[in-house]
Amino acid sequence: MDSQDSATFQPSNPQFEQSSQSSTPNPILQSPKKSIKTKYLVGILIILIVAVAAYSLLAGHSGRSTATSTTAAKPTAPTTTIPRTSTSYSNASYVVESSSQGTAIINGTKLVKNFDFGGTLVYDPQNQYTYIQTSKNIAVINGTKFIGNISIRRSSVLIPTVVAYDPYNNYIYAVNSSSQGENSYIGVISGMGIISKIPIPSLGNQGIVSAVYDPINHYVYLANFTKDILVVNGTSLVGIIPQKSTLYNITLDPTNGYVYAYGSGNANCQNGGYVLYVINGTSNIDSFCTGTGAVPVYDPSSGYIYSPYSSSIRSKKLNLLVLKGSSIFANMSLGAGGWETSLLYDPYNQNLYITSGNTDKTFIVKGTSMVSTMNNTLGPVILSDPYMYLVKDFIEGDTAMTLNVVDNTTMVGTVQLPGLLFSSVYDPSNHYTYIETETSTNGTIQVMDGLSIVGTIPINISYVGELYLV
């Protein structure tokens, strides 16, 4: 690393003032171009970014370690909120499949209930309510029973979106923002009512893309795609952290409360301005120029934050930045690789799986050591117990996918999917993995137990959406 390795931002509202240290982020790497498989890797991105957001929100709330996975293809501007804030609770009993067209409730291998509304959702384990953002209001269900609606004003541009659960206060947060001069606010929900409205600046047309809960200071961090990170404590807005980047995701280290924000467009970083900000409380304390790569992953066994990258736009070498707090602990060279990268942390074996989509290779890292490599793999999908599923390489135009099944560092089998992967979730209560696929005419949810498909649940193609665990 060169002499620009100690950049610190001191935020003021609404813009940064330059501190006594250099305001240029650490120039770790440059961003590379994308390959022709981006269409499908962006689809996998939505699946994997769900898991990392969920892990960050729950790290201080649940004692159970949960797999976190991310993907590296540069995200496009989302039209709805991306973060999924409930994917692993110890009392989980239902898998919920939800899209803008409807919601399906699954128990085990059976479809037990359909609702004709749907959208992004957040689960409250305290009252066991599921809050679903519909086109008109927030619908509330308990198990398979509809409880009622919570009325919240819709702006002329965006539907108010449920984005986060606060386990300290048992609050649900719903963001209502507009770029048309209307009042924007965060609705604070408790039970079946809005108990407070927190005024916020307009977030533009994109809304919140990621959220984490910090168990140390009890703050909830809400990242806006095009502007800032909002910091909420209970019913108060305690900070707005301006960023010089388009934000894609935020990740939490629950041991020190540091938040890591990954984005692009920072003028001080070359080749797309990809950057990783380190946040403590309501301030940026450091930043590192990175590149097109997967959003960071937290390893609870070591306390490391991992961020992969290619060192230049022309590089065919994959590297791994390892942070401890706000310091660089290691900068690993993994070997031949590329920039369409995805990550998955396996808490059972304490391995990190790093897949380079354009070279179809997976690197397996434990701590700061490379322990193995695997070929013919496009990207991690989801962790089960004890297996992990990786998408086998496919050709553009394929209408189905094959999963490679991995046990620690050994390939133990394959599973054929009837369509293209859309969404997935693992249920630790029954050890089933639910994988939603779609073709041009229909959708299905494959229920997997290890190497076996134990159930197939048909889903109307217009209902294909995201899978959640509640």
CATH T-level fold of 10-382: Methylamine Dehydrogenase; Chain H (2.130.10)
Backbone angles phi, psi at 429, to 5 degrees: -75, -30
pLDDT(27) > 70:
no
pLDDT at 205: 61
CA distances in angstroms from 251 to 69, 218, 267, 303, listed in the order given: 11, 15, 22, 13
Record the pTM. 0.79
Among 175-179, 272-276, 348-352, the minimum mean pLDDT is found in 175-179
pLDDT(142) > 80:
yes
Q: Mean pLDDT, to the nearest integer, of 79-107?
A: 60
pLDDT(8) > 60:
no
CA dihedral 261, 370, 254, 69 (to 10 degrees): 60
Show me where the domains of the chain are located: 10-382, 384-470
Write down the mean pLDDT value for the chain. 75
Of 144-153, 197-206, 461-470, where does the model show the most confidence?
144-153
Q: Which amino acid is it at 167?
A: P
The answer to whether the peptide bond before residue 418 is cis (omega within 30 degrees of 0) is no
Residue 272 and residue 264 in contact, taking contact as beta carbons nearer than 8 Å? yes
Q: Give me the helices (H) in 267-341, please.
A: none
344 pLDDT band, cuts 50/70/90, is confident
CA distances in angstroms from 153 to 81, 84, 176, 200, listed in the order given: 17, 22, 8, 15
pLDDT at 29: 40
Among 78-82, 134-138, 170-174, 209-213, the minimum mean pLDDT is found in 78-82
pLDDT at 338: 61
